[in-house]
């Protein structure tokens, strides 16, 4: 029976967080991921010498790792962490309370009683005004413990094994000293110094192949010609056309050269940012010196206009355009996403690994029955999934690599090694234009904010072109560097309502600051629009107060058009994301009468029935003093008598089955009524609400994607007040 080749491509990237005016790094993600996944992923391979993998390192990430290692990187979060808790100003304390819980709550906060205690004391979700209300309830020791825990919780399993003092601090839990904090921060810097030498070592031994991406991870087809987005999004509203092929080539060439200079190997392979490809970029990829690239399987089947087939997927191709060609492999989307989004939810890691091996073995048998060999490419994010795994994925990765090491029929390989012995036979003459996310570009273009960001970028680029003749080569190179930073994909990712991050304002500032720096170098008048945040002009309204009392019929069906219209506001954006593009909940309505809060959820019944996991909906209602969670076990009760549970802030159940058919109905829609008295809400109290779809402790989707729903509990004169507004 022929063996099967298996190639992991772990993709590592961060945008440039360096403020072009101050030189400081304003976000900590290179450092925090550095002590976690960027260290764990190569270090674990030392225990499995038979495992060969490909690691894609984006130059903008390597550039920042090198800056930390050399002591030239100072990030703002490190500075706030290092300040003695006894010397924190009011501004310092507010910053720490707002941002020092950034991490997966279930795996990085909840397991540690002191860290969880501090989060509950602050509130799981809190506004800036809410922070002002609670900041004085934290004493110096609270802030010191929080400074330590934020940094301590981010260490991956390799650091914990190599530095026993970290594990001792986790056991200590509370009462940390400034010396304890110094140990944590010093260990972080020591690990940052180890990262690049470790990658060089594994590359030299042949255990890993290093590939790369455009220097600042730009979406190549959109930068080449933004109108190419219309090929996969024919009805999209696009920004003013942007087209800078020269920048595409520069990002490719400089990125490959940077990796060669700093890691000692000129990459043969390219991961085009977000798997984004088009025919036009193939000649530029070849000109930059790359021999092969990887993208998503949906691009393959759209290119050849065929139904999905393993026989077609698990082989290399040659893609040609305008007299140039390049080898292309296509990732198995299902198995890649299985690791990214599903494995962490398995109760037992052995079950997750067994399912992975079952899928791969099934592919091997499928190809063997057809007397074919083949390669399965598993390409995915190498940094973010491990926040959702217990022990940062240590047990899963050990079991996975162990199982693959023992299997004689499955051989892990780097992609270049495979291509040396298996040259492509099939050709693609017109590769599909799209990305690895639904083979579209709507994550980065086509929404109001995203389009405005492209307009900002395009106008600044044209301004530079018009004035380039008056610049020295040194000035021009410097201006282009900051422009290239602004061409990165991450800025456009966070604009709009597709995804939410607490750092969105900083992303907007960095994007505009890099464009401002271009103009400062030119010594030309500033483009006034760059002073205006991209988000400031958005017409999206995240919450509004119902304008009248309402008492809907709770029967699970839209009784009539006006039933919810009078006193409710609709939300229809979620964090469904790339792994779940069709949300479980499409709309949220809410309203109230004098005694009850009413919520309506328009849900996707078929998607819920087909879901592999036990989906439930959670409605979190909170202010800075309390929190309640309404739990609707949706999948369990679709075909039975519906009910909901009410839990307190510690997730202790207050009652179960008490609120049944008179308070909740689940049919075409979900309608429920919650007495204000049940949640201790009194008139004029402000309530905040977030809805989520969950599987056990894992949040799958959040609604709304940005911000919170906020209402004021009505009093008897509410209608009169609203009429007077």
CA angle 335, 339, 345 (to 5 degrees): 125
Reading the block at residue 244, the tokens are: 């800078």
The answer to whether 61 touches 259, Cβ cutoff 8 Å, is no
Residues 618 and 668 in one domain: yes
Last residue of a domain, one of 186, 205, 224: 205
CB atoms < 10 A from the CB of 503, how many? Answer: 18
Last residue of a domain, one of 516, 537, 558: 537
Whole-number Å distance between alpha carbons of 326 and 277: 12
- Per DSSP, helices labelled H in 319-380 are 333-337, 349-369
Residues 187 and 253 in one domain: no
Residues 529 and 657 in one domain: no
Is residue 201 a part of any domain in this protein? yes
Residues 23 and 170 in one domain: yes
Residues 96 and 194 in one domain: yes
The answer to whether 690 touches 708, Cβ cutoff 8 Å, is yes
pLDDT for the residue 566:
56
Residues 173 and 284 in one domain: no
Residues 228 and 150 in one domain: no
Residues 116 and 243 in one domain: no
- The whole domain housing 260 covers 216-333+423-428
Is residue 260 a part of any domain in this protein? yes
H or E segment to which residue 467 belongs: helix 448-467
pLDDT for the residue 725:
35
Burial (0-12, 13-18, 19+ Cβ within 10 Å), 502: exposed
pLDDT for the residue 720:
52
Residues 187 and 321 in one domain: no
Question: Number of helices and strands (H, E) in the chain?
Answer: 27, 21
**Grouped pLDDT means (10 residues each) for the chain, 725 residues:** 87 98 97 98 98 98 98 96 97 96 92 96 80 93 98 98 97 98 98 98 98 98 98 95 98 98 98 98 98 98 97 97 97 96 86 96 94 95 94 96 97 98 96 96 94 97 96 98 98 85 91 98 95 71 62 81 60 47 78 89 78 79 76 73 77 62 81 88 85 76 73 74 42
Is residue 389 a part of any domain in this protein? no
**CATH classification of the domain holding 687:** 2.60.40
Look at residue 528 and give its three-state secondary structure. Answer: helix
Residues 197 and 225 in one domain: no
Number of domains in the chain: 4
Q: What's the whole-model pTM score?
A: 0.82
Backbone angles phi, psi at 588, to 5 degrees: -125, 130
Residues 193 and 55 in one domain: yes
Residues 95 and 197 in one domain: yes
The answer to whether 569 touches 589, Cβ cutoff 8 Å, is yes
Is residue 315 a part of any domain in this protein? yes
Nearest to 237 by CA among 439, 438, 436, 452: 452
Is residue 616 a part of any domain in this protein? yes
Is residue 672 a part of any domain in this protein? yes
Whole-number Å distance between alpha carbons of 666 and 616: 13
Backbone angles phi, psi at 150, to 5 degrees: -60, -45
56 Cβ partners below 8 Å, 6+ apart?
Answer: 9, 10, 11, 12, 13, 210, 211, 212, 213, 269, 271, 382
Burial (0-12, 13-18, 19+ Cβ within 10 Å), 551: middle
Cα 217 off chain centre by: 15
Is residue 579 a part of any domain in this protein? no
If you count them, how many residues does the chain have?
Answer: 725
Last residue of a domain, one of 373, 398, 428: 428
Is residue 569 a part of any domain in this protein? no
H or E segment to which residue 694 belongs: strand 686-695
């Amino acid at each position: 029976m022929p063996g099967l080749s298996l190639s992991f491509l772990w993709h590592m990237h961060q945008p440039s967080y360096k403020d072009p005016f101050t030189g400081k790094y304003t976000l900590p993600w290179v450092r925090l991921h550095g002590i976690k996944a960027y260290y764990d992923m190569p270090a674990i391979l030392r225990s499995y010498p038979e495992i060969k993998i490909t690691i894609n390192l984006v130059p903008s990430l390597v550039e920042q790792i090198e800056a930390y290692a050399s002591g030239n990187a100072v990030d703002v979060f490190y500075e706030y962490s290092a300040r003695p808790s006894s010397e924190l100003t009011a501004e310092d304390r507010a910053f720490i309370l707002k941002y020092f819980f950034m991490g997966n709550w279930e795996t990085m906060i909840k397991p540690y009683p002191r860290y969880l205690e501090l989060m509950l004391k602050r509130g799981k979700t809190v506004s800036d005004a809410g922070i002002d209300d609670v900041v004085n309830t934290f004493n110096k020791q609270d802030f010191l413990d929080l400074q330590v825990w934020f940094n301590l919780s981010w260490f991956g399993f390799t650091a914990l094994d190599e530095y026993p003092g970290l594990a001792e601090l986790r056991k200590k839990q509370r009462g940390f000293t400034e010396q304890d904090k110094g140990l944590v921060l010093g260990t972080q810097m020591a690990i940052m110094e180890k990262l690049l030498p470790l990658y060089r070592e594994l590359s030299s031994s042949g255990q890993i192949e290093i590939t790369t991406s455009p220097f600042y991870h730009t979406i190549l087809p959109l930068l080449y010609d933004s109108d190419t987005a219309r090929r996969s999004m024919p009805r999209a509203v696009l920004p003013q056309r942007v087209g800078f092929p020269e920048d595409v080539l520069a990002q490719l060439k400089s990125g490959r050269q940077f990796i060669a200079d700093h890691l000692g190997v000129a990459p043969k392979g390219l991961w085009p940012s977000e798997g984004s490809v088009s025919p036009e970029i193939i000649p530029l990829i070849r000109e930059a010196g790359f021999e092969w690239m990887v993208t998503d399987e949906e691009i393959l089947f759209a290119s050849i206009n065929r139904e999905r087939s393993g026989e077609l997927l698990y082989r290399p191709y040659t893609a040609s355009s305008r007299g140039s060609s390049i080898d292309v492999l296509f990732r198995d989307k299902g198995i890649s996403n299985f690791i990214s989004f599903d494995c962490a939810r398995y109760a037992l890691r052995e079950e997750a690994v067994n399912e992975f091996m079952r899928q791969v073995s099934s592919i091997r048998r499928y190809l063997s029955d057809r007397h074919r060999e083949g390669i399965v490419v598993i390409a995915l994010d190498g940094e973010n999934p491990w926040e959702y795994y217990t022990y940062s994925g240590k047990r899963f990765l050990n079991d996975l690599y162990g199982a693959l090491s023992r299997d004689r029929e499955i051989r892990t390989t780097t992609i270049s090694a495979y291509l040396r012995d298996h040259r492509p036979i099939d050709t693609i003459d017109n590769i599909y234009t799209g990305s690895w996310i639904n083979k579209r570009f709507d994550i980065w273009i086509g929404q109001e904010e995203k389009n405005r960001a492209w307009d900002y970028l395009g106008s600044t680029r044209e301004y530079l072109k018009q004035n380039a003749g008056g610049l020295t080569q040194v000035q021009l190179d410097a201006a282009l560097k900051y422009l290239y930073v602004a061409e990165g994909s991450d800025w456009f990712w966070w604009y709009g309502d597709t995804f939410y991050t607490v750092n969105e304002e900083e992303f907007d500032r960095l994007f505009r600051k890099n464009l401002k720096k271009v103009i400062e170098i030119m010594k030309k008048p500033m483009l006034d629009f760059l002073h205006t945040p991209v988000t400031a002009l958005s017409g999206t309204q995240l919450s509004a107060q119902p304008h009248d009392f309402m008492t809907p019929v709770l029967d699970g069906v839209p009784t009539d058009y006006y039933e919810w219209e009078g006193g409710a506001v609709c939300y229809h954006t979620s964090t469904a994301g790339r792994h779940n593009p069709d949300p479980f909940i499409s709309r949220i309505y809410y309203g109230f009468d004098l005694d009850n809060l009413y919520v309506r959820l328009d849900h996707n019944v078929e998607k819920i029935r087909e879901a592999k996991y036990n989906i439930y909906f959670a409605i979190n209602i909170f202010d800075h003093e309390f929190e309640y969670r309404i739990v609707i076990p949706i999948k369990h009760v679709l075909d039975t008598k519906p009910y909901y549970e009410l839990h307190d802030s510690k997730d202790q159940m207050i009652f179960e089955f008490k609120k049944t058919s008179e308070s909740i109905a689940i049919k075409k829609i979900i309608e429920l009524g919650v007495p204000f008295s049940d949640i201790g809400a009194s008139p004029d109290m402000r309530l905040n609400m977030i809805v989520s779809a969950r599987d056990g402790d894992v949040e799958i989707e959040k609604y709304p994607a940005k911000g919170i729903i906020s209402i004021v509990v009505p009093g008897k004169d509410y209608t009169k007040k609203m009429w007077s507004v």
